[in-house]
């Protein structure tokens, strides 16, 4: 299993970018959120996308196991925050962004009571096959009916490099969410020309896909 805490301590965080994700910008409206509604960002790191959502007048709830990541998020974005204890989590709270520091798998539905949407970038694909199934099952257990999910994935020939990020195909997304969710692929492109690390490893293609899911059954 990836040692995320030591990756944060040694600043080995190649997934982090200093730009807002362009797929989020393009497809955010698909979540059909009204101003001040709450969006959940699981395994949030110090993603700038959270600040973008805040600037767009949404409330944000994140969960992240690295306290360093959370402190850096607030400090690098010049956002003031307070810290308190909430059960097994340390809760970092800014104006309209709160981040639970701890294990995603310890979150319960009461933590996400007002959540209307989920934004997953580099979270599902950060996990190996076994954890991905556990992650979607738990996510399903703690979100309410009707919640929409904007999910960004990568797919590439897994035998040509090891994860994370792990390859997640459309077939797998379909299987993971089958039963409780409506499923729609919004976009899928081969973006290998913008992925020099994959090119250097001789990877044939890198598909970047955007899915919209909605929980329609308990």
Q: Which residues bind ligand SAM (CB under 6 A)?
A: 4, 15-16, 43-45, 47, 63-66, 69, 103-105, 121-123, 126
For the CB of residue 217, give the shortest distance to ligand SAM in the complex, in Å: 26
* Residue 64 Ramachandran class (φ > 0 left, ψ -120 to 50 alpha, else beta): beta
Residue with tokens 């199934």: 133
Nearer to ligand SAM, 5 or 216 (CB): 5
Q: Which residue is nearest to ligand SAM (CB)?
A: 45
Q: How far is the CB of 71 from ligand SAM (least distance, A)?
A: 13
Mode of pairing for the β-strands spanning 38-41 and 59-64: parallel
Which is nearer to ligand SAM, 118 or 203 (by Cβ)?
118
SS3 per-residue string spanning 71-136? HHHHHHCCCCCEEEEECCEEEEECCCEEEEECCHHHCCHHHHCCEEEEEEECCHHHCCHHHHHHHH
The least distance separating ligand SAM from the CB of residue 8, rounded to whole angstroms, comes to: 6
Rounded least distance, CB 51 to ligand SAM, Å: 12
Beta bridge partners of residue 189, listed in sequence order: 208
> Looking at residue 144, what DSSP letter applies?
P
Q: Give the shortest CB-38-to-ligand SAM separation in angstroms.
A: 17
Closest distance to ligand SAM from the beta carbon of 119 (Å): 9
Nearer to ligand SAM, 3 or 146 (CB): 3
Residue number, 119 or 177, with CB nearest to ligand SAM: 119
Considering beta carbons, is residue 25 or 34 the nearer one to ligand SAM? 25
- Taking CA atoms, 152 is separated from 3, 20, 111, in Å, by 23, 13, 23
> In the numeric block, which tokens belong to residue 77?
């974005």
* Complex with ligand SAM: residue 76 or 146, whichever CB lies closer: 76
Helix (H) or strand (E) run with residue 176 in it: helix 170-177
């Amino acid at each position: 299993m990836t040692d995320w805490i030591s990756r944060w301590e040694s600043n080995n965080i190649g997934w982090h970018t200093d730009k807002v994700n362009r797929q989020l910008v393009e497809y955010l409206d698909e979540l059909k959120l009204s101003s001040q509604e709450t969006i959940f960002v699981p395994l949030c790191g110090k993603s700038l996308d959270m600040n973008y959502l805040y600037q767009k007048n949404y409330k944000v709830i994140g969960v992240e196991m690295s306290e360093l990541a959370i402190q850096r998020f607030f400090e690098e974005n010049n956002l003031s925050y307070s810290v308190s204890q909430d059960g097994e989590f340390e809760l970092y709270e800014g104006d309209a962004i709160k981040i639970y520091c701890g294990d995603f798998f310890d979150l319960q539905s009461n933590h996400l009571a007002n959540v209307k949407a989920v934004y997953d970038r580099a979270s599902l694909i950060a996990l190996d096959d076994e954890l991905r199934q556990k992650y979607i099952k738990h996510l399903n257990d703690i979100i309410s009916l009707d919640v929409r999910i904007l999910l960004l994935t990568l797919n590439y020939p897994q035998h040509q490099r090891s994860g994370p990020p792990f390859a997640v195909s459309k077939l797998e997304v379909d299987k993971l969410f089958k039963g409780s969710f409506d499923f729609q692929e919004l976009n899928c492109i081969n973006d290998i020309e913008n992925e020099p690390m994959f090119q250097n490893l001789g990877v044939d293609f890198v598909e970047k896909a955007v899915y919209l899911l909605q929980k329609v059954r308990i």
